[in-house]
Amino acid sequence: MIYLLDTNVCVEILRGRNLAVIRQLAATSASDVRFCSVVKAELFHGAHRSRDSQANLTKVEDFARQFTSLPFDDDAAREYGRIRAELEASGAAIGPNDLQIAAIALVHGLTLVTHNTREFSNVAGLELEDWQSKP
C-alpha cells in the first residue's frame, strides 16, 4: 500500500506529539510514502507563521525531502472538478485544499493518511487511514 500524508499527520510528526503516528511512519518504508505540493504549501504557511520560522522552514524541507512529492497537476485538476461537483450536489462540500489533496490521492491510487476522516470520508472511492487512532 502506498500512502499520501495529510497535513495534520505531518504536523504531528514534525512536532513529535503523537507516538502512534511516529511509530507507524517509522514502520513504513519511505518508498511507500508520498507527499504533495498542497501539503507542503500548508506546512510552509504554518512555518512562516511560527515563532521560529527559519528553523521550522528547514524542518519542513528536511522532512519533505524524504519522500516523493506529487504536484497538483492537470489530472488532479480534472479529478478535483469531478469531486467538487459531486460533493456540492450532495451538500457535503469540503475545503479547497482538502479537495486538492483528495484529488491527488485518487489520481495516484493512494491511501490518504489523515486524522480528518470525517471530512475526507465524503469523497467517494478515497481510501483513508487514521494513524492517530491506531494503538
pLDDT for the residue 17: 85
**How many domains does the chain divide into?**
1
- Number of residues in the chain: 135
Contacts of 50 (CB under 8 A, 6+ apart): 56
- CATH code of the domain in which 126 resides: 3.40.50.1010
* pLDDT level of residue 133 (50, 70, 90 thresholds): confident
- Residue indicated by cell numbers 506529539: 17
CA distance 130 to 4: 12
Residues 58-87 have a mean pLDDT of 97
Determine the 3-state secondary structure of 91 from DSSP: coil
* Alpha-carbon gap, residue 125 to 135, rounded angstroms: 25
| Cell 520560522 found at | 53
Cell digits of residue 65: 525531502
What range does the domain containing 12 cover? 3-133
